[in-house]
Structure 1
Amino acid sequence: MTTNLEYNPTIDGAASHYDDLDQFYREIWGEHVHHGVWFTGKETDNEAAENLVKMVAELGRTGQNTDVCDIGCGYGATAKILAQRYGANVTGMTISSVQLAYAQANNNVPGKTTFMVRDWYENQLPDNRFDVVQTVESLEHMPDLPTFFRECYRVMKPGGRLVAAAWMSCENPGPWAKRHLIDAITRETQIAGVRPESEFRAATEAAGFVNYQFKDYAKQVKRTWPLCALRTVKGLFTKPHYRRFLFSSKNPNRIFALTLFRIWLAYELGVQRYGVFSADKV
């Protein structure tokens, strides 16, 4: 199902970002448009990406016929794993029509997964619908955290669980880091912000959730960015469409190639964190 999104600079910008960079995301990231988690350092890239999915599933206590809402489902890779391996029923939401088309065309568990283009702030979902509401790297696009979490609470069944994996900043980045890393990353990736963990905790608890639990996985995920940067550099030398896109002034999203290196540096300096947290509705 598709709904029309009202104009919103953040929503429109993010949708355009993912639509314009679709080919590059799939070539550089694959179906999983999120960080990998290297627990041992020996995992393949795909194993690292699936480590994050497994972590989210375990935190959500996801199992047979668990009703899951996946906010920011991307190409549907996480939803398909939850359906195939855990037996969950997953409703995936994206703001990208290109991602939606890919997810639907490659949906090999149609009876267990549903994908739609939908703005979470106007999600039109019924109250008390889901056992788990999860968001893997989509909170960055949400300009209003209190409303976001209130909606999560509304659509969740009593006894349900919220699980989130999110880009975060350190609590007090200095002026240089804020200007050249946090603010620049925010602007260039068309997101609403890279926020400190304290803001997520406050908004989650204000929405009514309890039992908030948080862990920082920055050390385990930061390897994602040098890998992406290396793939991009290789692409510039081996794939003409990389050069055409990245060197054309007509493509405002070409700046993302530089942003890869900013994010890499932000992790190395401890300015950027990667948080995974959960909370319950009683």
Structure 2
Amino acid sequence: MTDIAIKNRIRDFYDSLSPHFRDMWGEHLHDGYYEHGDETKEIAQEKLVAYLAKRAQIPQGKRGLDIGCGMGATSVWLARHLGCHMTGITLSSVQVEIAQQHAEQAGVEVAFKVSDADTVTFDEPFDFLWMVGVLGHLPNQHGFLNNSPRLIKSGGRFLLADWVIAPDVSEKDKRKYVDPVLEGMLMPDVASVKNYVNWFEESGYNVISTEDIANATRKTWDEGISITQTPTILQLALELGSDALGLLSAIKGMRKAMDRGLIGYGVVVAEKR
């Protein structure tokens, strides 16, 4: 499948599913951070944003680009809590519409636009880049990171958080446990934290910190499995077609792969030289 075909499939996927995601999962599309384990999924999702912002030392009142902004909830949070001047980009026009409504309801000004992360340009570079649960959707992850310095000022922080593959996964386990998850999540591939570190360093960044927070995010998939088992969701997936059914299977597969230590949740903070 060509890069364009992959991106078109992802765009169509989120155009059709985003309103349903909002109803069953909330405004945030990403994992939750379960600090104590008894948080609701909505609180855990906001805790992830707060944790990542603190980890990256996102400064108050700065200009940020939310790459793959989904339905805009993270950009709105950063605008409300840190006074950041946010721009969010996504392939999905449906997500942009939802995100704009969310910002209006929250009483904050955030710019959302339909754009391809690989080709988008801006007149001025940003103070920081934010990319959570998105890089794995890109056909050429290395290429994106290599070209990303055009979007950020020298000394600016790049916060990357995404699912990562363990460094010692066998080909057999990858085919059996990891690849089906990637297919269901519409992710061409997934890299290791070590790969990300190397790519950042090659692209003109200094890596400030790395960690794997899979233990704190794992309950996300318990919540997901519980939701997918309801008759309403199963019927909806049947109506929406193969990609929706593939997502349900991938949610179960992600929990299994995490339990086996094959997939983690990596966080990398890098600073442009």
**Fold in common (TM above 0.5):** yes
Q: Distance in 2 between matches of 1:38 and 1:244?
A: 29
Q: Distance in 1 between matches of 2:112 and 2:99?
A: 7
Q: Distance in 1 between matches of 2:223 and 2:96?
A: 26
Matching residue of 2:164: 168
Distance 1:19-1:180 versus aligned 2 partners, 3 A rule: farther
Q: Give yes or no for contact 2:65–2:130 (8 Å, CA) kept in 1.
A: yes
The question of 1:267 aligning with 2:263 is answered no
Matching residue of 1:150: 146
Distance 1:110-1:94 versus aligned 2 partners, 3 A rule: farther
Q: How does 1:18-167 map to 2 (within 5 A)?
A: 18-108=14-104, 112-126=109-123, 129-167=125-163
Greater CA deviation, 102-111 or 205-214? 102-111
Q: Give yes or no for contact 2:69–2:90 (8 Å, CA) kept in 1.
A: yes
The question of 1:13 aligning with 2:9 is answered yes
Q: Give yes or no for contact 1:145–1:203 (8 Å, CA) kept in 2.
A: no
**Number of residue equivalences:** 271
Q: Give yes or no for contact 2:212–2:264 (8 Å, CA) kept in 1.
A: yes
Offset at residue 225 of structure 1 (A): 0.5
RMSD: 2.0
Structure 1: runs of 5 or more not aligned = 1-5
Q: Distance in 2 between matches of 1:160 and 1:205?
A: 14
For residues 37-62 of structure 1, the C-alpha deviation after alignment (integer angstroms, 9 at most, x for no partner) is 11222322222111111122223333
Offset at residue 181 of structure 1 (A): 1.9
Q: Distance in 2 between matches of 1:154 and 1:59?
A: 23
Amino acid at match of 1:102: I
Q: Give yes or no for contact 1:20–1:253 (8 Å, CA) kept in 2.
A: no
Matching residue of 1:180: 176
For residues 231-255 of structure 1, the C-alpha deviation after alignment (integer angstroms, 9 at most, x for no partner) is 1212x1xx3xx34433358544322
Q: Distance in 2 between matches of 1:215 and 1:249?
A: 36
The question of 1:210 aligning with 2:206 is answered yes
Q: Distance in 2 between matches of 1:188 and 1:44?
A: 25
Q: Distance in 1 between matches of 2:140 and 2:174?
A: 20
Q: Secondary structure at the match of 2:216?
A: helix
Query: Which of 226, 232, 236 in structure 2 is aligned with 1:245?
Result: 236
Offset at residue 281 of structure 1 (A): 1.3
Q: How does 1:219-238 map to 2 (within 5 A)?
A: 219-234=215-230, 236=231
Q: Percent identity between the aligned chains?
A: 27
Q: Distance in 2 between matches of 1:249 and 1:62?
A: 38
Q: Provide TM-score, normalisation by structure 2.
A: 0.92
Q: Distance in 2 between matches of 1:51 and 1:90?
A: 19
Structure 2: runs of 5 or more not aligned = none
Q: Distance in 2 between matches of 1:231 and 1:119?
A: 31
Q: Secondary structure at the match of 1:273?
A: strand
Q: Distance in 1 between matches of 2:205 and 2:158?
A: 8
For residues 179-208 of structure 1, the C-alpha deviation after alignment (integer angstroms, 9 at most, x for no partner) is 122111122221121221121111111101
Q: Provide TM-score, normalisation by structure 1.
A: 0.89
Amino acid at match of 2:253: R
Matching residue of 1:256: 247
Distance 1:194-1:7 versus aligned 2 partners, 3 A rule: closer
